[in-house]
Amino acid sequence: MSARLDRDALRALLKRPGVARVLAALAAPGEETRLVGGAVRDTLLGLPVSDMDLATTLTPEAVFAAASGAGLRSIPTGIEHGTITLLADSETFEVTTLREDVETDGRHAVVRFGRDFTRDAERRDFTVNALSLAGDGTLHDPVGGLPDLEAGRVRFIGDPATRIREDALRILRFFRFHARYGFGAPDAAGLAACVEAREAPARLSRERIRAEILKLLAAPGAVAAVVVLSDTGLLQRLLGGIGDGGRLGRAVAAGLPPILRLAALCVWSVEDADRLRERLRLSKAEHAQLHAHARALAALLDPVEIGERRMRALTAEHGAAGIAAALAVLDGGARPALTGEARRNLEESKEAPPPALPLGGGDLVARGVTPGPAIGRGLASARALWLSLGCPVDAAARERLIAAALEAASR
């Protein structure tokens, strides 16, 4: 298998208004600025370009001055590393002065500015990320990225162990980029170096690991890459638990978002959700999604066959989307057992608002219940009955629910 590289698309990239404007602004005698990395790589592959990165021989101060002279807004987003963000024609451009590493500790690098594009390319992680495109259309490939890109091979630049010692996050990036751009098995030398350095990610921030894991799970080859991560023991070190490639495959096939792919991979219980929250420093919203997924799984794994009435209760309790996501992950096993009516009800529920308990605290106050704990007891009892009945909303059911609520409130 090989990828077809579209060199004509590079000319179109250079003609984009924002690109042309930035390159023109940074043009100066004796200086050079090139598009680098992902923009070049993805353009060659015919993929959408999300990041516009440029490398330049200009110093950060000269970039500021040139941008100001061209009427471009500039932001010193990473000035200590020579990176300035320019805004042009609704696009964002990260412009970085050429750099050379002076020393690294696996997390941070001390750099100095340089003028050699080849040396700048050699300090990058993978060959496919070291391509650069000059303003005149010349494509530069000093480390063999083009044949690797065509062959679907993600390969470290130079010695893999050295690249990993410079930044341990490159272990995760190796798998993420292979899942996005690779064909077949990962590069053997790169994989061996990642396994050898398996303790290194422990020094990384959990936020950085989280970002790479979620990006990997969004990639087309996520399932195969995760299987290799698991087989080598790296996945367990990263997530603190085992993973289920089959469930992940079903989540990918169902088009679930990355956070729910993570849930499919390694969440069986609310305790797993809590572990991942700490392990990856998940946001409150992400943790809530994992927690909800775990509760939906537990509800679906009830040994009793799920019929239409039970499905209405499940969608009221967990939402149609939550039940559908959990069901997509579980389908194919012995459980859950769903009737055809239950599946039809779930599909219909996706297009309708979730059923709501047809009474509230005001209804109980109107029947003489004093506001306070009694209201909560009454509503909780009514809701439990309502769910067991399949969430009816007719007048007769409402009166039955009110009666149950009043009885509970009086205790």
Residue 60, domain CATH: 3.30.460.10
Compute the average pLDDT of residues 11-35. 95
Instruction: Determine, yes or no, domain membership for 342.
Output: no
Q: What is the pLDDT of residue 110?
A: 61
Q: What is the pLDDT of residue 108?
A: 55
- What mean pLDDT do residues 242-266 have? 95
Name the domain boundary from 126, 151, 176: 151
Q: Which of 60-74, 88-102, 171-185, 216-230 has the lowest mean pLDDT?
A: 88-102
Give 322-385 as a DSSP string.
HHHHHHHHHTTSS---B-HHHHHHHHHHHTSPPP--S--HHHHHHTTPPSSHHHHHHHHHHHHH
Mean pLDDT of the 65-70 span: 94
Contacting residues for 33 by C-beta, under 8 A, at least 6 apart: 22, 23, 26, 27, 54, 55, 56, 57, 58, 95, 135
The per-residue pLDDT for range 288-321, each reduced to its tens digit, is 999 999 999 999 987 778 999 999 999 999 999 9
CA distances from 181 to 150, 155, 234 (A): 10, 11, 20
Residues 377, 379, 380, 386, CA torsion sign: positive
167 and 146 in a common domain: no
Asked which of 99-103, 314-318, 373-377 is least confident by mean pLDDT, the reply is 99-103
Q: CA–CA separation, 346 vs 326, rounded Å?
A: 12
Residue with tokens 């200086």: 31
Residue 397 lies in a domain: yes
CB 238 within 8 A of CB 209: yes
Report pLDDT for 113.
Answer: 85
Taking the C-alpha atoms of residue 315 and residue 337, their distance in angstroms, rounded to an integer, is 16
User: Do 16 and 117 lie in a common domain?
Assistant: yes
Question: Per the domain annotation, does 84 fall within a domain?
Answer: yes
Do 145 and 27 sit in the same domain of this protein? Answer: yes
Question: What count of residues does the chain have?
Answer: 411
Q: Do residues 101 and 223 share a domain?
A: no
- Which residues, other chains included, contact 32 with Cβ-Cβ below 8 Å and sequence gap of 6+? 56, 57, 117, 134
Question: Taking 90 as the threshold, does the pLDDT of residue 111 lie above it?
Answer: no
1 lies in a domain? no
Tell me, yes or no, whether 329 lies in a domain.
Answer: no
Identify whether residues 12 and 115 lie together within a single domain. yes
90 with 204, same domain: the answer is: no
Q: Say whether both 51 and 127 belong to one domain.
A: yes
What is the β-pairing status of strands 91-97 and 52-56?
parallel
- Residue 219 inside a domain? The answer is yes
What is the DSSP secondary structure assignment for residue 143, as one 8-state letter? Answer: T
- Within-domain flag for 297: no
What mean pLDDT is predicted for residues 262-269? 96
Grade residue 372 by pLDDT with cuts at 50, 70 and 90.
Answer: very high
**In which element (H, E) is residue 237 found?**
helix 234-239
User: Which tens digit of pLDDT belongs to each residue from 393-405?
Assistant: 889 999 999 999 9
Are 143 and 122 within 8 A, CB to CB?
Answer: yes
For 160-214, write each residue's pLDDT tens digit: 999 999 999 999 999 999 999 999 999 999 999 999 999 999 999 999 999 999 9
pLDDT at 80 over 90: no
Domain residues for 389?
361-409
Which pLDDT score, from 0 to 100, does residue 257 have? 97
Q: What confidence score (pLDDT) does residue 101 get?
A: 62
Note if the bond before 336 is cis, omega within 30 degrees.
Answer: yes
Whether the per-residue pLDDT at 332 is higher than 80: the answer is no
Burial 266-296 (b: 16+ CB within 10 A, else e): bbbebebbbbbbebbbbeeebbebbbbbbbb
Of 116, 151, 186, the residue at which a domain comes to its end is 151
pLDDT in the model for residue 82: 87
Q: In terms of domains, do 223 and 123 share one?
A: no
Beta strands in 79-209 (DSSP E): 83-88, 91-97, 99-104, 109-113, 132-134, 139-140
Taking a C-beta distance cutoff of 8 angstroms, is the pair 97, 59 a contact? Answer: yes
Residue 318 is predicted with a pLDDT of: 93
Closest CA to 329 of 286, 295, 297: 297
pLDDT of residue 302: 78
Query: Quick one: 176 and 244 in the same domain?
Result: yes
Q: What is the CATH number of the domain that holds 190?
A: 1.10.110
> Where does the pLDDT of residue 102 fall: very low under 50, low under 70, confident under 90, or very high at 90 and above?
low
Q: Are residues 134 and 49 in the same domain?
A: yes
Same domain, 141 and 166: no
Rounded to 5 degrees, φ, ψ at 91 are -115, 150
**How many domains would you assign to the chain?**
3
Mean pLDDT for all residues in the chain: 92
Q: Please check whether residues 190 and 137 belong to one and the same domain.
A: no
Q: Answer whether 172's CB lies under 8 Å from 212's CB.
A: yes
Identify the domain boundary among 99, 129, 151: 151
How much is the pLDDT for 5?
A: 94
**Res 304: pLDDT:** 77
Mean pLDDT throughout 32-54?
95
Q: Which pLDDT band, with edges at 50, 70 and 90, does 50 fall under?
A: confident
C-alpha to C-alpha distances, 131 to 2, 97, 117, 305, nearest whole angstrom: 18, 16, 10, 57
Q: Name the percent of the chain in helix, strand, coil, to the closest 5.
A: 55, 10, 30
What confidence tier does 331 reach under pLDDT thresholds 50, 70, 90? confident
Q: Are residues 329 and 363 in contact, defined by beta-carbon separation less than 8 angstroms?
A: no
Q: Could you tell me the pLDDT band of residue 154, with boundaries at 50, 70 and 90? A: very high
Q: How many angstroms separate the CA atoms of 131 and 380, rounded?
A: 62
Q: Is residue 338 part of a domain?
A: no
Q: What is the mean pLDDT of residues 103-130?
A: 80
- Cα 406 from Cα 291, distance rounded (Å): 32
